[in-house]
Amino acid sequence: MAARARIVVVKVGSSTVTTPSGEIDAAVVAQLSGEVAALAAGGHHVVVVTSGAIACGWAALGRPGPRPSDPAVLQALSAVGQQRLMRAWQDALGAHGLLAGQVLLAPLDFGHRRQYLHARATLQHLWDLGVLPIVNENDAVADEEIRFGDNDRLAALVAHLAGADLLVLLTDAPGLLSADPRLDGSGSLIEEVMEIDQRLMDVAGGPGSVGSGGMASKLAAARMASRSGVTTVIADGRRPGVLAGALGGARGVGTVFRPSGERMPARKLWIAYALGASGLLVVDEGARHALVEGGRSLLPAGVVECHGRFDPDDAVEIAVVDGTVFAKGLVRYSSERAGEWVGRRSEELPEELSPVAVHRDDLVVLA
């Protein structure tokens, strides 16, 4: 019996797709394109989420010294590198008879239902046309305050968008190791993870050296995908047969993260992981219980303190009095009017203010 057709999202990191100098690593792109083509020939739908545009843009300019860090300059570099990166993928995929289609996404594409459906329909139409989608963030014009920040998080959101069975995060490491290899060379591969806890996040360490992510961002993406019902594999992008191995469940191909619990709706996934928090609401134990156990909205009476500067519909984290964050949501009030709503009962609120601080439809319990 033929294997069931599956949807696979493959994210390729900057450290995998480019050389240390920032040039496109044509051999790696050719290898991965061959593996992607093999999956497509087997009837599977594949989306490639590729990093490397900024590195390619800086290499194209041929400037000496380290890459600049100014966000506006990085956006300009992305505009230079994006088309070079796409051309490399198209040439490599074309050798296998595949046509690539570029899809540039922004966080708002996941937060607004109509945009979300348009993006999902675009992927489906590309597959129907026999075109392989190549996804990246629209870095050249993205607002710094509402961008993804790294393509690991984008890939997890795309996996949800596409209804993926598998997310493969390719990097320059064999997977998640039991110790940070930059600090301890004795770490061994962790082959399977059922739950991502703080201990694993500590093992992952900080950002990488080439792209904007690192192992920590890949764990965050794996946690997102897990809450979307998607299996995730972190693996070495230069390992021959890595995609077939990940899809086939080959032992030792990388670190496998199993999906957990109920599939989170797209909008709540966007609130939880794609939006940066502008502030923090500290709530009492009664409010925490109502949110976590009762699935209720957050009322202003349960808010003890607010921190940060935020406007209505901004994302805020929600914590208990010891500072532990357990939820996130879109607040209906501004911080400037905190004195008018923090701790107030509904009958004490000004008429123009909503009786709800964070509605349950706009709230995600994180822990």
Instruction: Specify the pLDDT at position 231.
Output: 95
Question: How many angstroms separate the CA atoms of 287 and 22, rounded?
Answer: 50
Sign of the C-alpha dihedral computed for residues 325, 327, 333 and 334 taken in this order = positive
Are the C-beta atoms of 232 and 256 separated by less than 8 Å? Answer: yes
* Coil/strand/helix, residue 60: helix
- Give per-10-residue mean pLDDT for the chain (367 aa): 79 92 93 97 96 91 85 88 94 97 86 84 96 86 54 90 95 85 74 83 58 74 89 96 96 92 77 85 97 96 96 96 95 95 94 94 89
What is the per-residue DSSP string for 105-164? E-THHHHSHHHHHHHHHHHHHHHHTTEEEEEEE-TTT--GGGS-SSHHHHHHHHHHHHT-
Q: Radius of gyration over alpha carbons of the chain, in Å?
A: 22
Calculate the dihedral angle through the C-alpha atoms of 205, 212, 28, 33, rounding to the nearest 10 degrees.
110
Domain 7-268 fold is Carbamate kinase (3.40.1160)
Q: 184-199: b or e for each residue (b if 16 or more CB lie within 10 Å)?
A: eeeeeebeebeebeee
Quote the tokens at residue 222: 């794996």
What is the helix (H) or strand (E) element at residue 338, kind and residue range? Answer: helix 338-341
**pLDDT value of residue 283:** 98
Q: Where are the domains of the chain?
A: 7-268, 277-365
Region for residue 252 given its phi and psi (left: phi exceeds 0; alpha: psi -120 to 50; beta: otherwise):
left
CATH 2.40.40.20 fits 277-365, yes or no: no
Equal fold, 7-268 vs 277-365? no
pTM score, whole prediction: 0.82
